[in-house]
């Protein structure tokens, strides 16, 4: 086996390993093709092109409605853990801003601290509401009827899953609190400590905001895909029932 | 909000390739060779088609000892969409209605 061929197969194998669960099968398909391509250089070009699969990430697709109850449980559990973990950040930031509020010398510096506290209040309220919604209402409902969903009514469970996915589209509320913190910190530093923000900090800040926006878009895209998958499975089930 | 299929010229090329033999299962590399599309362009199109339930996938049953290959074929919905899209693409390219103006044969 030539070096070029070995390189092509190595790249393909890594693409399979690193591909997100939803694209694993496709990555494997690409890898198998790379094995049968006769020209070594063509195989290498093929393998390099296959790295495109790594740019997108996606959860494993739902193949049947029977997989929905487990996906619902995963969504609820994941949201609970994530919500609990990111609850600490706004609480700590809020306490810092509150402390600065009382030691600030200028009115505008104090206003900045108030904006920061407001950001924390928004984030904490949002997270507590989400946490309560998931833990008290949905979890209880799931526990009571989880077995029914699995064995009797996967269609109801699929509709319930769709509701959950749609109601999770409110991450922008949490993100708005980030903006409040940034603005609050800038006002406090600028008006109370006369600190001037340099270019590097602005670039870093912009990159951070872009990153947050990208993550939000990715999450939203994944949810829309999942909703489409559920719709398609429900449509298939309806067609089957009609026949 | 629904994610729509992108009507790109490359998608039309892939669909036209599938229409050249509707009943045949196709390999990725063969489609790539016939359409001139690179794997990084072709596979996202195939994935999107599969997402919209327009393409079915299958693993070849291996008989020669080689690992099975991934194969693709349009579903009924996919065939309908392909005929419509290829027809529109031809209309745009020639400025005349394809198939004497009949769409969705």
In a domain? residue A235: yes
Contact between residue A155 and residue A69 where contact means Cβ atoms under 8 Å apart: no
One domain for residues A137 and A74: yes
* Cβ(A110)–Cβ(A101) below 8 Å: yes
Helices assigned H by DSSP within chain B: 9-20, 28-35, 39-51, 76-94
Q: Do B68 and A32 lie within an 8 Å CB cutoff? A: yes
Q: Does domain B9-95 bear CATH number 3.40.50.740?
A: no
Q: A117 and A140, same structural domain?
A: yes
Q: Is A60 domain-assigned?
A: no
What is the tens place of the pLDDT at every residue in B41-78?
A: 999 899 889 888 889 999 987 666 778 889 999 999 88
Please give the pLDDT value at position B35: 92
Q: Residue A141's pLDDT is what?
A: 59
Residues A51 and A76 in one domain: no
Q: Where are the domains of chain B?
A: 9-95
Q: Does A45 touch chain B (CB under 8 A)?
A: yes
Let me know whether A31 and A92 are in one domain. Answer: no
If asked whether residues A75 and A154 sit together in one domain, one would say yes
Report the gap between the CA of A234 and the closest CA in chain B (Å).
13
Domain-located, residue A168 = yes
Min Cα–Cα distance to chain B from A140, Å: 29
Q: What percent of chain B has pLDDT over 70?
A: 81
Reported ipTM: 0.80
Domain that includes residue A105, residue range: 65-242
- Check whether residue A109 and residue A185 sit in a common domain: yes
- Cβ contact, residue pair B44, A33, below 8 Å: no
| A84 shares its domain with A165 | yes
Same domain, A102 and A215: yes
User: What is the mean pLDDT of the segment spanning A181-189?
Assistant: 84
- Give the Cα separation of A58 and A127 in Å (integer): 25
One domain, residues A119 and A187: yes
Residues in chain A: 243
Indicate the Cα dihedral angle B80, B82, B83, B84, nearest 10°: 80
Domain end: A55, A80, A97, which one? Answer: A55
Of A179, A163, A137, A183, residue with least CA distance to A223: A163
Are A147 and A124 found together in one domain?
A: yes
Boundary-marking domain end, from A55, A73, A96: A55
CB pairs under 8 A between A and B: 71
Residue A241: predicted pLDDT: 62
8 Å CB contact of B57 and A33: no
User: B98: distance to nearest CA of chain A, Å?
Assistant: 31
For residue B58, which phi and psi values (nearest 5 degrees)?
-155, 155
Residue B36 — left, alpha, or beta (φ > 0 → left; ψ -120 to 50 → alpha)?
left
Does residue A48 belong to any structural domain of this protein? Answer: yes
Residues A44, A70 share a domain: no
| Single pTM value for the model | 0.64
The closest of A24, A49, A47 to A35, measured between CA atoms, is A47
Judged against a pLDDT cut of 60, whether residue A150 lies above it is answered with no
| A221 to B3: CB separation less than 8 angstroms, yes or no | yes
Domain count along chain A = 2
Which pLDDT tens digit goes with each residue over A6-29?
A: 999 999 999 999 988 888 889 999
Q: Are residues A109 and A205 in the same domain?
A: yes
């Amino acid at each position: 086996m030539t070096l070029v061929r070995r390189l092509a197969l190595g790249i393909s194998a890594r693409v399979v390993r690193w591909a997100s669960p939803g694209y694993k099968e496709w990555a494997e398909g690409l890898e198998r093709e790379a094995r049968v391509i006769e020209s070594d250089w063509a195989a290498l070009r093929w393998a390099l092109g296959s790295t495109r699969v790594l740019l997108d990430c996606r959860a494993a697709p739902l193949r049947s409605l029977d997989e929905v109850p487990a996906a619902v449980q995963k969504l609820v559990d994941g949201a609970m853990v994530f919500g609990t973990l990111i609850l600490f950040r706004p609480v700590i930031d809020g306490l810092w801003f509150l402390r600065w509020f009382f030691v600030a010398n200028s009115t505008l510096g104090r206003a900045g601290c108030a904006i920061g506290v407001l950001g924390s209040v928004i984030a904490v309220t949002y997270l507590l509401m989400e946490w309560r919604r998931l833990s008290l209402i949905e979890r209880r409902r799931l526990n009571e009827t989880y077995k029914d969903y699995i064995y009797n009514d996967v269609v109801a469970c699929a509709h319930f899953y769709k509701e959950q996915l749609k109601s999770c589209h409110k991450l922008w509320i949490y993100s708005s609190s980030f903006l409040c913190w940034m603005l609050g910190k800038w006002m406090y530093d600028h008006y109370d400590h006369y600190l001037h923000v340099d270019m590097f900090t602005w670039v870093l800040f912009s990159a951070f905001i872009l990153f947050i926006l990208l993550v939000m878009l990715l999450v939203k895209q994944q949810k829309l895909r999942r909703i489409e998958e559920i719709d398609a499975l429900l449509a298939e089930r309806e067609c089957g029932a009609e026949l | 909000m629904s994610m729509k299929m992108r009507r790109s010229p490359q998608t039309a090329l892939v669909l036209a390739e599938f229409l050249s033999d509707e009943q045949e299962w196709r390999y990725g590399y063969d489609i790539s060779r016939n359409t001139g599309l690179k794997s990084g362009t072709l596979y996202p199109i195939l994935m999107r088609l599969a997402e919209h339930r327009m393409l079915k996938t299958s693993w070849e049953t291996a008989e020669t000892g080689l690992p099975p290959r991934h194969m693709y074929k349009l579903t009924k919905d996919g065939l309908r969409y392909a005929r419509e899209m290829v027809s529109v693409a031809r209309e745009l390219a020639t400025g005349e209605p394809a198939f004497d103006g009949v769409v969705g044969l």
